[in-house]
Each structure stands twice: as structure tokens, then as C-alpha cells.
Chains A and B, each alone.
Chain A
Amino acid sequence: MLNRLNKTGVCLMEKIRITIDGKEVFGERGQTIMEVARDNGIDIPHLCYHPKLSKTGACRLCLVRIDGRMLKTSCTEFAMDGMSVVTEDDGLKGIRRWLLGLLLLEGEHNCLYCDADGDCELQKYVKMYNVEKSDEDFPRNPREVDYVTSNAIKRNENRCILCGRCIRACKEVQVSNVWGFTERGSQTHLIADDDRRIGESSCVKCGACVQLCPTGALTFQPVLGTGLNWELEKESSICIYCGVGCKIDFYKNKEGLLVKTRGNDDGPNKGHLCIKGRFGFDFVQSPKRLTNPLMKKDGQFVEVGWDEALDFVADRMKGIKDKSGPDAIAALSSAKCTNEENYLVQKLMRGVIGTNNVDHCARL
């Protein structure tokens, strides 16, 4: 982004015009073909590419034909003025089917057991291109499955397509640099830190790698409920913890239990979360939650109705106000409550009770 602006912030970018699948579209010099296509609503199949991450051109699925001749990976190839790009023809379709077939052969992709079923980019393309696993005997190395060392992240490398998005997520989004590849060729596999398992590593459980994993190789440990991905209901809200104000998509299952969260790209967090935003929500559905008004009678809390509790509070407050004046009453409002709720507490104290004794934990 930086080199696109001069010192005074004026955009130096030149507009360029390219043709994608016969349609004329505009982009900026310095953008890749993939980026121009995305900006113009054209979807080129891809697995290792993600708009938040640096580009590697590893999966080859985004190959396009340029000017009727060259095949290039559109995620790494810069768009040039006047370029003509074909995103799919019979040849490209054949290559994509062949690539997807190889991925199916190399891994152990069984959607029946997979948490990513219904939320998997590999599955999406396999369906789209109608690919089936070949029955030829292909020597493969069983890879590591680690469902136990971390209470946050499950890893099944038999579902890994070595796209490296998790590594880049950890390096470029969370910047903890935990994940890495080791060894070469068909032996290539994922390691955490200096060849540790994830639960024994310096992982801070932000979950960025899982959110950006295109398959079920990395998945979240269940926290509360579970459910089929296509049955989950999604609603966004704002994280309750620190002041960054991350926007989060919460997913709940048919029973109404929270299942998982994803960082929402529209929030100040741009889709990223920390361990608290990612996993710190099950308290809401904790069995320890208060469910009934309580009053202390003879030193013990007993359940009472709302009317009894509220009348008691109002009567006592009025009594104190009448006897000792409004300044004998104080309120603590809450940095965990909404603007509307804070507004009402100070209005109650000032407008109804008549004191400015209202504060909250801003200084704590």
C-alpha cells in the first residue's frame, strides 16, 4: 500500500485496463490479476491465496491463460495494461481437476468426520469441478493427528493441503510466528516452534490459523455446543473484553448453544481476534449465571420476585434520600454495559435521586 502513495498522500496509481473473460475491467498498476478480478466481482478458484496474506502461488489452482498463450498463477502475476485474461477454458478446467484429484489422493479427506464439512474451500472446489478420489494406489505418508495437546486448536494433518495459509496467518496477522513447514517433498509437514506440538508451543490461541485454514486440517476445539455447519445461525456483535471493540460473528446451533466465533472483517479488528474474543464467550451460557432476583434474609440469599426486589430497592433508596439526603447514595455504572444503560444510570442518579455520585471503573 505504502508505495502507492507519495509523501503528501496523493495517489500515484495509474489506472490500467484489462480484459477478463472478454469483459473489460479496470484496475491499478501494482495489483495482481487476482486482485483486479476480485475488485470486479470475478471469482478465480484459489486455495493458497487469501486477501489478508502475502502471496505464494503454491496451490496452482488460480492458473489463468494470459493473451491466449501463457499460463500464470493469477494471485502472483501483476496485471498489465491491455492484458487479456481467460480464467477458465477446457484446458484450465482439466488442470484444476487434475490438481484437485492429486490433493484428494495425497490427503485423507473424509468429510463425514470433518468439522469443516460444509465450511471447506477444498470441498467447495471438489464439488464445483466434480472430482472424485482416484482409486489408483498412491503411496502416502500418514501424517500427525493432534487433538489433545491444545484446548483451543485441533490439528489433523491428513487433511492439510500444504497451502501455508496458517503459517502466513501466524506470521502476518497474529505475528507470533509459531507455525512453520519442515522437511521436503512428500515429507513436508507442519510444525509449531522448534518441532513441538501446538499445545506445547508458544501459541497464544488467537485462532487466526484456524479461521484462515481452507480445509479441516486446523479446527477449533468444541467449547459449548456442536452442530453441522449449515445448521448454525450467525449473528454479529461487539466483543465484551478490551476496548479495541472487535466485531465478532457468533454461531449458535439448533439448541441455541454457542458453537464458535469468527472475526468479522468489517470491525476495527479486520477479522482478527485474540484468545478472549475467540474462546471467552461460554460464560454467557454458564450454569452459574444468576437467573432470579435474590434478597438477603437472615444472612442467606433467597429467591424473590422482581416486584419484591425492586420495591425494596426503591423504598430503601427513598428512605436514605429522605433521611440523609441524596448525596448519601452512590452508584457504580459499568464499562461492560451499553451506552444506553450507562446513560440511564447517570440519569437515575442525577435526575431522580439528585446526586452526582456516579462513577465506573474507568480508572481501574
Chain B
Amino acid sequence: MTNSIREIPQSAGYLIIGSNTTENHPVIGSMIKNEVQNNKKQLVVVDPRRIELAKFADYFFPIRPGTNIAILNGFMHVIIKESLYDKTFVDTRTEGFEDLKNTVEKYTPSYVAEICGLDNPEDIVAAARLMASMKPMALYYSMGITQFVSGVNGVKSTANLQMLLGNMGVEGGGVNPLRGQNNVQGACDMGALPATYPAYQPVANEDNKKKFEAAWGAKDLSMKPGLTLVEMMNAAHAGEIKGMYIMGENPVMSDPNQQHVIEALENLELLVVQDIFLTETAQYAHVVLPSCAFLEKEGTATNTERRVQPMHRVLDPAPLVRDDWWITMQIANRMGANWEYENARDIFAEIRKVTPSYAGITYDRIEKELIQWPCPTKEHPGTQVLHRENFSRGKGLFTGVEYTAPYEETDREYPLVLTTGRVLPQFHTGTMSRNSKVLEETAPEGFVEVHPNDAINLNINDGEVVSVSTRRGSIRIKARVAGRSKANVVFIPFHFYESCANRLTVDCLDPGCKIPEYKVCACRVEKIQA
């Protein structure tokens, strides 16, 4: 997030696009609902499903999955045409406005309504005007913007809109991606990414290579960016990756195209899984290493607003269960390293030295202070709002992006669009939530959400077990007939191994950031003949 959670009350209004906030980030969802319901703030919601926030919205656009860029361009078309944009901000803080203007020229409300499958093009005009009147407006998005082959362009579009409206660098504004895991921000910051060292310092850079060689006492660090997660699976499938070390992840459940993932893992000469349960992935391992769960560890985690927070040991682990960092250190030392960390605090001290944005953060400070990176020195208070005076590159760059269709279009054989996501009481692959009594009892099984019109056409009833198929595979799952999804769009949560959504999803990737297109593929729903 460029901005902070505590600024939610400072916004005049919100655009929520591709985020089912009240189910996936419920506490932020509640804060936004409170502002809208009790403090008369305005809300525009764009989502293929009639999510809870749609009830609170001034305008709700149930778009076809994968058409975010079209509707964002449509909003910008109106804002530019009616000259509602923040001219001072555009003139002084940005460049590339003409490029954007030319690109969005053709995205008239009626053209956009056609792409997005909307009935009321005039609402696009009204919503655009409303957004321009909100000073400031905060934009929130989540995987409903990113998990497409056009994910990177979707993100660029959100930035275009917020720069156009002058909502960057101000409290209560910003582009605010909501991160779906408690420390996904931190894992990225720490360089658990194939192309960057900690603090996003590229590996393909001679200076960075030297810097880390000196810091780690290592020789010949590779400058070749590594493989991303889905690419790793493809390489394992092809026999190019022979050994994998998986700490606390469950790709059999979480990666697209499950059958392909299983074949890839079975192909490995060595699979090491380090986890708290014998997960679906661990079943394929040669070695399984038991590690501490979050309440059994010390350390830090970085939330969606870049806030680094302390985690404390609440419970003592079982006698033979070990900290993840200890296990990693043991493997390293048995391969020739001589790391001597006594505890997480020692590791954090090293992190501070090589991670400029964390340099001023200490264990003592975060016990008492609220610190968001970048925090370069011990005296620095941290950064609540990014891009206040300048963008990282100086001026903000508008990038006109065209709408492109999702990878897999529907056809006669697979006539419906499948989109996937989470439900409130469950989490990701279910390793934690499905082993928690109240959560599992509340949402014990998967379902496919089908629009009533489609249900009539398919001759299926609410609660009936149906078959859902794509080009990758087929599952059996209970139908939930509800007006929540758009007609021709079905939704399946991916938490449940019994009805695994990722047996169906497509593993095509965004060419830039390699994110899989979980949010759209073509599917077929069929009645099971007795």
C-alpha cells in the first residue's frame, strides 16, 4: 500500500476494484463499511461478483472477469473528456499524459459497457464524476486486479487513475493493494523473489552482486534471475529442476493446474518440505521437516501497509519441532556455510545492514513504535505515505494500456467463465483454517456459485452435486445457486482438496510478472446423470 490503514477515515471515498474486502481483509472491510454507512463516505465497487461491499456502494459495476483495464480506461476517458482531472498534479508530478489521453480516447462508456458486459453506460459517467469529486479517494485492489495475464497492466491502470485524480502522495488517497498473506510483503522485501535481493535490489546488477558478496562472504553470486514459482514447476516437470526445498508452502493446492504440479513434484530427485502439517505437498516429499507454527516463534512480519511488527512466542513447541530459521541454517552449515545465528534477533541485525529500507528498524523500536518502511536510519520515523514529494523515478509516468482479453475465451465446449477466490471462514490451501474447529465447521465444503439463470439452463438445483470441467481436469462439487455471480460466470473457492479449484485453473502467466491467471478460465458445468 502506498498509504496506511489508519488513513481510511481520512478518505472522502473509495474505489474498490478486484477485492472482496469484507471476506479477504475483513478488518479493513469493516473500516471501509463503517465510513460509508456511518460517516456518509462514498463508495464505487467494481467486481464480477455481487460482494458484500456492493450493498454499501453508490455505484456497483458487475464486470466480466478480466475486463478491469477496460472499465478503468472508461473512467479515465470520462475524467479527461470532462476535464475533471487534477491539472496541477498532472502538470507538476507526472509525465506521459498525452500517451494516456490517446489510449483512453476510444474507451467511451458504451464501448466499455460492451466489453465489460454492463447494462448502464451512463453509470460509468456518473461514477467517474463522483470519483473526481472525492478529495481524496483511496483505491483498494487485490488479486482481482493482478491474477490475469494482463495483471501488470491492470496495476498500471490503477496508478494511472490515481495520478490523474491527484490522489497520490496525500493522506487518505493512494493505490492500495491488499496483500493476502500475513507476511507476503515481508517475504518480498527480504528477497524471496527470483530477481531481487532484499529491498528489491536487482540480482542482475554488478554493484549489488559485489555488495552481497562482501556482506555474505560469498563468491560468484549468480547474476542470472531465477525462475518464478510456476516456471519452477514447469522446469521440474521438464527435468531441469532436480531438487526443491519448500518451506511453509503448499503448491499442490495453491498452484494452477494441479495435475501438472503433482507430476512435476514426482519428477524430482529430492523434495524437502518443511511445514507444520503433512500437507498435500508434503505427501510427495522425500524428507519432511517439522517446524514451529507462528505462535511458537519470535520474529518480525511486515503487513500490507509496510508496517514491521514483532511476533512473540506465545506457546512452547513440541520437543522435536524446530524454528524454520534454525532448520535453514542447519542445511546451509551442512553444505559448507558457517552461520552462527543464535536467534531471530541476530538475523534481523544482519537484515538491517543489507536492506536499506529496514536499516533504521530495530526490535526495541517496533515494540513501542509504529514503523513503516522505508526507514533508513534509527532516527527516521518511518514512512506513512509513499510518493509525497516525488515518485521513485522522479515524475510519475502515465502508461496508456489497452484492454486485452483473457487467455482462455469461452467457447461452445466450455461456455462459462470460472473465477476462483477465498471465502471468509477459510484461508488459502486450508492447512491452518481447515484444522481450526470453528472455521472448518463454519465452511466445511467447497461449492460452485452458479447464477439462477444458468442453473435453470443447466437444470441444476441448489445443493446438487454437479461436475465442473475445464481443459485441465474435472471435479465434482455442490452447486450454490445464488445471484451473486454474473450470469455465465461461476465461482469456486480454492481451499478444499475434495473439490480442488486448482485442478481446473489455467497455468498461463502474465508475461511481465509471471502471475497465473487464476481469475478467468473457460469451464463447463454439467448435471451428473444418475
CA distance A92 to B272 in the complex (A): 69
Cα–Cα distance between A335 and B226 once the two chains are bound (Å): 18
> In the complex, how many residues of chain B place their beta carbon closer than 8 angstroms to a beta carbon of chain A?
150
Given contacts A172-B34, A258-B315, contact A337 B191 (CB under 8 A): no
Contact of A363 with B514 in the complex, beta carbons under 8 Å:
yes
Interface string of A333-363 (1 = CB under 8 A from B): 1111111111111111111111111111111
Q: Is B456 interfacial (CB 8 A cutoff)?
A: no
Evaluate contact between B435 and A240: CB separation under 8 angstroms.
no
B297 nearest CB neighbor, chain A only: A338
Q: A205-B442, A330-B227, A336-B183 are in contact. Are A350 and B312 (CB under 8 A)?
A: no
B441 — nearest CB in chain A belongs to which residue? A151
Chain A residues closer than 8 Å to B9, beta-carbon distance? 1-2
Stretch at the interface among A93-101, A117-125, A316-324: A316-324
Partner of B249, one of A295, A306, A334, A341: A334
Contact call A351/B25, Cβ cutoff below 8 A: no
B377 within 8 Å of A (CB atoms): no
- Given the interface pairs A289-B318, A350-B212, A362-B184, the reply to whether A357 lies near B232 with Cβ below 8 Å is yes
Selected contact of A204 from candidates B26, B37, B189, CB within 8 Å: B26
What residues of B have a CB within 8 angstroms of the CB of A235 in the complex?
312-314
In whole angstroms, how far apart are the Cα atoms of A337 and B285 in the complex? 20
Q: Say yes or no: A361 contacts B184, CB within 8 Å.
A: yes
Complex contact B243–A316 (CB within 8 A)? yes
Q: What A residues does B227 contact at CB under 8 A?
A: 330, 357, 359
B335 touches A275 (CB 8 A): no
> Could you say which residues of chain A place their CB within 8 Å of the CB of B97?
none
The closest CB in chain B to the CB of A294 belongs to B288
Q: When chains A and B are docked, how far (Å) is the Cα of A355 from the Cα of B235?
A: 14
Closest to B230 in A: A363
Structural contact, A282 and B325, CB atoms closer than 8 A:
no
Tell me whether A344 and B5 are in contact (CB under 8 A). Answer: no
Residues of B contacting A267 with CB < 8 Å? 309
Q: Is B39 an interface residue (CB 8 A)?
A: yes
Cβ A240 vs Cβ B432 within 8 A: yes
Q: CB-CB contacts of B196-222 with A at 8 A, as 1s and 0s?
A: 011000010000000010001010111
List B contacts of A324 (CB < 8 A): 242
Q: Which residues of chain A are within 8 angstroms of B179 by Cβ–Cβ distance?
A: 242-243
Q: Are B221 and A350 in contact (CB under 8 A)?
A: yes
Contact across chains for B294 and A339 when beta carbons are under 8 A apart: no
Q: Are B226 and A355 in contact (CB under 8 A)?
A: yes
- B320's partner among A272, A276, A292, A352 (CB-CB below 8 A) is A292
Query: Complex Cα distance A105/B195, Å?
Result: 69
Task: Contact check, B351 vs A340: say whether CB atoms are below 8 A apart.
Answer: yes
Does A331 sit at the interface, judged by CB under 8 A? yes
**A281 lies within 8 A of chain B by Cβ:** yes
Main SS at interface, chain A: mixed
Q: Which residues of A contact B182 (CB under 8 A)?
A: 238-243, 245, 335-336
Contact B516 A348, beta carbon cutoff 8 Å: no
Stretch at the interface among B64-72, B154-162, B299-307, B386-394: B299-307
Q: Is A113 an interface position by the 8 A CB rule?
A: no
In the complex, which residues of chain B have a beta carbon less than 8 angstroms from the beta carbon of A270? 6
Please give, as numbers and ranges, the residues of chain B lying within 8 Å of A244 by CB-CB distance: 5, 25, 27-28, 178, 303-304
Tell whether B337 is near chain A: CB-to-CB under 8 Å.
yes
Give CA–CA (A300, B305) in the complex, Å.
Answer: 44
Q: A317-B270, A336-B248, A339-B302 are in contact. Are A347 and B183 (CB under 8 A)?
A: no
B427 CB to closest chain A CB (Å) equals 5
A361-B438 in contact (CB<8A): no
B190 and A346 within 8 A (CB): yes
Say whether A286 faces chain B, with CB atoms less than 8 Å apart.
yes
Is A209 at the interface (CB under 8 A from chain B)?
A: no
* Known A-B contacts A290-B275, A362-B187; A356 and B241 likewise in contact (beta carbons under 8 Å): no
CB distance A245 to B303 under 8 Å?
yes
- Whether, in the assembled complex, B515 has its beta carbon less than 8 Å from a beta carbon of chain A, the answer is yes
- Check A256–B441 contact: CB distance below 8 A: no
- Cβ-neighbour of B311 out of A237, A285, A309 (below 8 A): A237
Say yes or no: B295 contacts A237, CB within 8 Å: yes
State the CA gap A27–B125 with chains docked (Å): 46
Check A275–B425 contact: CB distance below 8 A: yes
Option from B192, B216, B230, B425 in Cβ contact (under 8 Å) with A345: B192
**Contact between B438 and A152 (Cβ–Cβ < 8 Å)?**
yes
CB atoms of B334 and A328 under 8 A apart: no
A335-B184, A359-B192 provided; 14 other pairs, C-beta below 8 A?
Answer: A245-B307, A246-B27, A279-B437, A293-B320, A310-B327, A327-B240, A329-B245, A332-B245, A340-B325, A343-B198, A356-B222, A356-B226, A364-B229, A364-B518
B-side residues, CB < 8 A to A, are 4-6, 9, 24-28, 30-31, 33-34, 37-39, 146-147, 171, 178-195, 197-198, 203, 212, 216, 218, 220-222, 224-230, 232, 235-236, 240-249, 251, 254-255, 269-270, 272, 275-278, 285-291, 293-305, 307-316, 318-325, 327-332, 334-337, 339, 341, 344, 347-348, 350-351, 424-425, 427-428, 431-433, 435-439, 441-442, 513-516, 518
Q: List 5 A-B contacts (CB under 8 A).
A: A268-B305, A275-B438, A331-B246, A339-B190, A357-B227
A contact residues vs B (CB 8 Å cutoff): 1-2, 9, 151-152, 171-175, 177, 204-206, 221, 223, 235-247, 250, 252, 256, 258, 267-270, 272-277, 279-286, 288-296, 301, 306, 309-314, 316-318, 320, 324, 326-364
